[in-house]
Chains A and B, each alone.
Chain A
Amino acid sequence: MGVKVQDYREFMDEVLVDENTIGKRVAELGAQISREYTSRELLVVCLLRGGLTFTADLTRHLTIPHTLDCMSLSSYSVGRYASSGNVRVNLDLMTNIEGLNVLLVEDIVDSGRTLAHVLQMLKTREPRSLKVCVLLDKKYRREVPVEVDYVGFDVPDKYVFGYGIDIDEHFRHLRFIASADMQKYRKTS
């Protein structure tokens, strides 16, 4: 068996957003979205995998009728910091979005490249409206302009994890969002 998974406290730089603050902000976003989509049927699209926790919590604060669908995407280029390539759809929507009000829910927007591609792709299917809700916005890293309609928190250009966001597939289950000191982090084999 490989090396044991490292305790996150060994490489955590700081807690960027604590559980309580996340909970409050997610509730606010849910209320805002509920107001803005009143009497309009909404399809919430969760972008796996990072968006999972955020979507599960956000939808519980929606007071309007809505349905849920998921998409799984990956990038044709390699590496977390080099997502400049095209987007590959691993799991497409079950729902035909033509004529629907669609809200894309994502954990984090960074360069904006993936998001811009997905939006472009989904627009070809002619939804009635298409908006984006992200929990974290790393504005400083933006390379492609992309319109984000709902933002949970602006975060600095740091390596983040927790609340759905992983490092090498771990630490998604943590209840807060933290930044990592990657010099102290060691990958599990």
Chain B
Amino acid sequence: MQDYKDFLEEVLIDEKTLQNRIKELAEEINRDYAGKDLLLICILRGGIVFLVDLMRHITVPLQLDFMAVSSYGAGARQSGGSVRLSLDLKTDIRNKEVVLVEDIVDSGNTIAYVLEFLQTRQPSSLKVCTLLDKEERRETPVPIHYRGFSIPNKFVFGYGLDLDEHYRNLPFIAVADQKKYRTPE
């Protein structure tokens, strides 16, 4: 296993800045959902760390649920491909106030599909909260209601985001130098 310092280009968002912003997002959500019950949906696995830190600042009555998605074969996460639900929600979201929590919105293809799919179940509202927004990469438009940070089109890792399944536990978001990064065998 390569030490991340060997390929770290820069720390894009440090721990303190991340945590402050997450608190602000939660406060915004608390204001918007005052007097309502909220359901946060996390798409596994990247969104876990963000969800856990975000929810600790939520003061309105809160439920959590999880989804896991995978693609139908190679390339299906590209534009137009369908998404396979490997874990569906436990909760019926009909008439619920729902916020989908994501670590990053990139092409937007997967999340757009998930939103469309969830809408068919008629929640009373459905919003998106993403920690990171890589707008440059967008292929499918996604309405984002709560955005942590807009980031450039760089190879990022840390704070839930992996490189070949590693480095999710770093408390900051960093940029990797792709020339120096080696994929573990």
Contact = CB atoms under 8 A, between A and B. Distances in A.
Nearest to A175: B56
Nearest to A163: B56
Interface in B47-98: 48-49, 51-53, 55-56, 58, 61-66, 68, 86-87, 90-91, 95
B166 A67 contact: yes
Interface bin, chain B: 20 to 34
Nearest to A59: B169
Interface in B95-121: 95
Interface centre among A4, A56, A175, A188 (most CB of B within 10 A): A56
B168 A169 contact: no
A65 B165 CA distance: 10
A91 B86 contact: yes
Contacts of A65: 1, 166
A52 B48 contact: yes
Interface stretch (A10-18, A68-76, A132-140, A144-152): A68-76
B48 A66 contact: no
A95 B166 CA distance: 13
A59 to B, nearest CB: 4
Contact of B169 (A1, A62, A70, A173): A62
A173 B58 contact: yes
Given A53-B52, A172-B55, A175-B56, A91 B68 contact: yes
A72 B1 CA distance: 28
A28 B180 CA distance: 33
B1 A173 contact: no
B134 interface: no
A88 interface: no
Nearest to B160: A56
Interface in A10-41: 41
A124 interface: no
Interface string A81-109: 00000000011000100000000000000
Interface residues of A, number: 32
Contacts of A9: none
A5 B61 contact: yes
A175 B58 CA distance: 11
Contacts of A95: 165
B76 to A, nearest CB: 16
B126 to A, nearest CB: 17
A68 B55 contact: no
Contacts of A175: 56
A72 B86 CA distance: 11
Contacts of A70: 44-45, 48, 68
28 contacts: A1-B95, A4-B61, A48-B66, A55-B48, A56-B49, A56-B51, A59-B168, A59-B169, A60-B171, A62-B169, A65-B166, A67-B162, A68-B45, A68-B48, A69-B45, A70-B68, A72-B87, A91-B68, A169-B90, A169-B91, A170-B61, A170-B62, A170-B63, A172-B55, A172-B64, A173-B56, A173-B62, A188-B37
Interface of B: 1, 37, 44-45, 48-49, 51-53, 55-56, 58, 61-66, 68, 86-87, 90-91, 95, 162, 165-166, 168-169, 171
Interface of A: 1, 4-5, 41, 46, 48-49, 52-53, 55-57, 59-60, 62, 65-70, 72, 90-91, 95, 166, 169-170, 172-173, 175, 188
**4 cross-chain pairs, A with B, having the tightest CB-CB distances, nearest first:** A5-B61, A65-B1, A173-B55, A56-B52
